[in-house]
């Protein structure tokens, strides 16, 4: 029908952009999302529409829509000045985020534990090797790759939980805790060893055994670590910097 005519009249153009031509607005949204999860923006940093539009080489229109969406996800914050910024880190907010993540991601991994196929388990198992590989040449602390790999590992599991409701909520939580995590990972690198691989190994073992409770506990230990670390760091700073 209409599709047939389009195919007949211009099959080549249809081939070039066959399925879902992505809109500029989606591209901008994904870009900002990735930057936020990766912690490329600093907490309390203010973002301007025109500034981002220039940086992303587009007009203001897609940017303002993307910012609006990120604000509703609480990934950004709308100030009364009508300007938007990355939410600042506070101890209360960190505890709040961690509690929500334990609750929801814990539920997701428990669901996934009984649903993951051996194919999917093999996938996350293969990801463990990349940590060792990265540790081998760790003269350069590649924080970006750490963040990316960690994200891929977790969401490969969460996707298996089979809940179209929980997964977007987890994405929103990662978006909100992104800036904190980046700060924590930097602090980690200074402090000592990055033993993410160990925690992930424990998770994989539990998933392979289809042990939901064990998997949940291992996950809680994994995601709590950067938060508790950053918490002690912030408390120490607050103690010595009360004057500020």
Give 9 or 243: the residue with its C-beta nearer to DNA.
9
Distance of alpha carbon 52 from alpha carbon 65, whole angstroms: 12
By the rule CB under 7 A, 49 interacts with DNA? yes
**Residues 100 and 170 sit within 8 Å (Cβ to Cβ):** no
Give 61 or 236: the residue with its C-beta nearer to a copy of itself.
61
Q: Which residues pair with 157 in a beta bridge?
A: none
Give 8 or 82: the residue with its C-beta nearer to a copy of itself.
82
Chain positions 144 to 163 lying near a copy of itself, rule: CB under 8 A, are 163
Q: What minimum distance in Å lies between the beta carbon of 33 and DNA?
A: 16
* Among 34, 64, 74, 93, interactor with DNA by CB under 7 A: 64
Packing angle between helix 60-72 and helix 24-37, nearest 10 degrees?
Answer: 50
Name the helix (H) or strand (E) containing 105: helix 91-113
- Work out what residue 6 binds among a copy of itself, DNA, none; the CB cut-off runs from 5 to 8 Å by kind: DNA
Determine phi and psi for 165, rounding to 5 degrees.
-95, -45
Chain positions 74 to 103 lying near DNA, rule: CB under 7 A, are 78, 81-84
**Residues 151 and 217 sit within 8 Å (Cβ to Cβ):** no
Q: Which positions lie near DNA, rule CB under 7 A? A: 1-6, 8, 17, 21, 23-26, 47-51, 58-62, 64-65, 78, 81-84
């Amino acid at each position: 029908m209409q599709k047939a005519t389009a195919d007949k009249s211009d099959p080549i153009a249809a081939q070039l952009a066959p399925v879902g031509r992505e809109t500029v607005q989606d591209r901008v949204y994904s870009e900002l999302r990735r930057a936020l999860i990766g912690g490329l923006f600093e907490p309390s940093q203010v973002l301007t529409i025109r500034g981002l539009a220039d940086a992303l080489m587009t007009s203001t229109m897609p940017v303002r829509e993307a910012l609006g969406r990120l604000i509703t996800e609480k990934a950004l914050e709308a100030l009364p000045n009508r300007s938007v910024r990355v939410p600042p880190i506070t101890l209360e907010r960190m505890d709040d985020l961690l509690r929500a993540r334990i609750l929801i991601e814990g539920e997701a991994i428990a669901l996934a534990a009984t649903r993951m196929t051996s194919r999917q388990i093999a996938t996350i198992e293969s990801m463990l090797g990349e940590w060792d590989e990265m540790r081998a040449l760790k003269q350069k602390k590649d924080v970006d790759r750490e963040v990316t790999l960690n994200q891929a590992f977790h969401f490969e599991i969460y996707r298996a939980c089979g809940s179209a409701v929980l997964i977007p909520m987890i994405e929103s939580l990662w978006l909100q805790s992104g800036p904190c995590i980046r700060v924590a990972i930097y602090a980690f690198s200074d402090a000592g060893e990055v033993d993410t691989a160990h925690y992930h190994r424990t998770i994989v073992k539990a998933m392979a055994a289809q042990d939901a409770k064990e998997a949940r506990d291992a996950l809680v230990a994994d995601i709590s670590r950067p938060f508790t670390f950053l918490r002690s760091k912030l408390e120490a700073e607050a103690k010595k910097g009360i004057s500020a």
